[in-house]
Amino acid sequence: MNYIFISPHFPVNYYNFVKALNEFGVNVFGIADENYDFLRNELKWNLREYYRVNDLHNYDELLRAVAYFTFKYGKIDRLESFNEYWLESDARLRTDFNIYGIKTNEIELYKNKSQMKKIFQDAGINVAKGRVINDYKNAQKFIEEVGYPVVAKPDKGVGAAATFKINNENDLKAFFEVKPDIDYIFEEFINGEIYSFDGLTDKSGKIVFYTSHKYQRGIMETVNDDLHIYYYSLLEIPEDLKEQGERIVKAFNVRERFFHFEFFRQTKTNKLYALEVNMRPPGGYTMDMFNYACDADFYKEYASIVVNDKLTAPYERKYQVCYIGRKFNKNYVHTHDEILSNFSDTLVMHAPVADVLSRALGNYCYIVRSKDFSRIEEAIDFIHKIW
């Protein structure tokens, strides 16, 4: 099997996919703009060959790279980046080379929030009222229907980039003064908690692994207000979340892929509202959190699905695992060494966060796990305590 991995060096933990695929006998080829000498050794050792392009945004360069591997090694069976930023390029390359997976005619369903909303509604899933709006007058009409606050975000966008919470008419005027020249979707603001439904499907679309995470707050607030973030996995998945997640997997025909769905649980009604879908693993070090929660290796399990269409072993959610991010611009009470000393029994990982992710996830992270959630709460309070 021939497998092309776009940008295998980023995020930094994704070399584990290459390693796992190689161990299952897959020929893995890398395409990226990084100098080969700067790749970590574990990545170099597990790539069959690497093709450096000058610019990953240059589709002609990507086209030549895939053509080179096709000419030299034969038909390409899979092509992935697992990176939201490159999903459209991935789909276009799959279309041009007839590679298994999401093609160009499908990608708009996953990239445009307005399209997602229609599919959610067709599947009988609650959604926040929303509309694509690009002028002040229509924005006012929409706000008359739903009231303030509203959220304005790019209809096609990654994460919380250029997302605004609009609380009043002054905010609305300010938004249209700086609004980029792209389609924006306005949505009613749902007051509630954020949950994810995450997992992996096999070739038939059956969910072979699933879990859920609860978030301290939304990425929009974290980025716009420069706040801390933490989020943690659940041992028991609420039945309504599982049921709606399964419906979304079916509605979007998710096959042989990781998925990351986001929901609000409204405070007043306890109802779930679908927020968006992501056809990739959740960001940051969440893949590693999967592993720590289950004492498993889901990089390996993905490779097993690709090659054998089954997991290597059953899994069990054994621990709650929490991601705790710190930002360099905060004045913390406790030092790094104090964290390592005080939570040696629960700390399973700590690492720097890539600059491009730091506004949302912090500059440095600590991942703790425990069967006793009160111990996780102690770690959150200790790590986030500021003067």
Cβ neighbours around 196 below 10 Å, total: 24
pLDDT of 227 above 80: no
pTM comes to: 0.94
Label residue 116 by pLDDT band (50, 70, 90): very high
pLDDT at residue number 223: 64
- Best CA proximity match to 278, nearest among 113, 93, 166, 152: 113
pLDDT at residue number 285: 97
pLDDT at residue number 142: 97
pLDDT of 225 above 80: no
pLDDT at residue number 20: 98
Contacts of residue 344, defined as CB under 8 A and 6 or more positions apart, other chains included, come to: none
Length of the chain: 387
Label residue 343 by pLDDT band (50, 70, 90): very high
3-state SS assignment for residue 34: coil
pLDDT of 245 above 60: yes
- Best CA proximity match to 110, nearest among 95, 88, 127: 88
pLDDT at residue number 324: 97
Exposure class string for 111-121: b at 16+ Cβ within 10 A, else e: bbbeebbebbe
Structural domains of the chain ordered from first start:
2-103 (3.40.50.20), 129-188 (3.30.1490.20), 192-384 (3.30.470.20)
* DSSP H helical ranges for 147-274: 169-178, 219-224, 239-251
Distances (CA, A) of 184 to 44, 130, 180, 361, 387: 41, 10, 9, 24, 39
pLDDT of 157 above 70: no
Q: Model confidence over 248-257: pLDDT tens digits?
A: 999 999 999 9
For residue 77, give both structure tokens: 């069976």
- Best CA proximity match to 88, nearest among 116, 65, 118, 109: 109
pLDDT at residue number 221: 67
- Best CA proximity match to 357, nearest among 84, 4, 38, 33: 84
pLDDT of 161 above 60: no
The Cα–Cα gap between 255 and 257 comes to 5
pLDDT of 24 above 50: yes
* Mean pLDDT of all residues in 109-134: 92
* Mean pLDDT of all residues in 55-75: 98
- Asked if 360 contacts 273 with a C-beta cutoff of 8 angstroms, the reply is no
Q: Model confidence over 289-338: pLDDT tens digits?
A: 999 999 999 999 999 999 999 999 999 999 999 999 999 999 999 999 99
The Cα–Cα gap between 25 and 164 comes to 47
pLDDT at residue number 160: 47
Average the pLDDT over each of 105-114, 145-154, 222-231, 346-355 and give the range with the smallest value: 222-231
**Rounded to 5°, angle at Cα 303 from 301 and 305:** 70
- Best CA proximity match to 100, nearest among 253, 255, 250: 255
* Mean pLDDT of all residues in 86-91: 95
* Mean pLDDT of all residues in 130-137: 94
pLDDT at residue number 112: 87
Distances (CA, A) of 303 to 86, 116, 211, 275, 314: 21, 28, 19, 29, 15
Mean pLDDT of the chain: 94
